[in-house]
């Protein structure tokens, strides 16, 4: 299967690979897995006192599309408010990376990871987790 140039770019030069301090109250960690393929994605956000995401990191053990989806997601997250981050839809990722239909589920993994990270941050800070409709 042919990958788009943007997927190849993110795959060969992934942005924001790494780890943030999981124990910090300002850090939300999302860890999601796809039972179908056994791939795992961890995405973390660092949130400041104004609810702005100042940093985002990821580590993905998965296919090229999943790595590219999470790399792109961390780029989009930086500078966004937590509320705006909640609105990132996997279909935005599909469009930006020109993912073929068989790889759409890999972008769902990224959306799930973003929402899981936000919910971890919310729960740590005494807020209710947001209910998620979509899941991998």
Catalytic residues, by residue number, are 37, 106
Asked if 73 is part of the footprint of ligand FES (rule: CB under 6 A), the reply reads: no
Q: From CA 25, how far away is CA 46, in angstroms rounded? A: 9
Asked if 98 is part of the footprint of ligand FES (rule: CB under 6 A), the reply reads: no
**Contacts to ligand FES from residues 103-122, by CB under 6 A:** 105-106, 109
According to CB under 6 A, which one of 20, 63, 110, 116 is a site residue for ligand FES? 63
Give the Å distances, CA to CA, from 121 to 90, 115, 128.
20, 10, 10
Minimum distance from residue 65 beta carbon to ligand FES (Å): 5
Strand 53-61, strand 39-47: pairing: antiparallel
According to CB under 6 A, which one of 36, 49, 131, 133 is a site residue for ligand FES? 36
Minimum distance from residue 70 beta carbon to ligand FES (Å): 9
Residue ranges that bind ligand FES, judged by CB under 6 A: 34, 36-37, 39, 62-63, 65-66, 105-106, 109, 136
């Amino acid at each position: 299967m042919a990958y788009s140039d943007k997927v190849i770019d993110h795959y060969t030069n992934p942005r924001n690979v790494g780890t943030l301090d999981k124990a910090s109250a300002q850090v939300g960690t999302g860890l999601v897995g796809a039972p179908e393929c056994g791939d795992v994605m961890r995405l973390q956000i660092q949130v400041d006192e104004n609810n702005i995401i100042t940093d985002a990191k990821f580590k993905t053990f998965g296919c090229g599309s999943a790595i590219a989806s999470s790399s792109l997601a961390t780029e989009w997250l930086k500078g966004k408010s937590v509320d705006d981050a909640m609105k990132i839809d996997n279909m935005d990722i599909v469009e930006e990376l020109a993912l073929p239909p068989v790889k759409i589920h890999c972008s769902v993994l990224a959306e799930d990871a973003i929402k899981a990270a936000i919910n971890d941050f919310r729960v740590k800070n005494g807020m209710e987790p947001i209910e998620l409709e979509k899941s991998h």
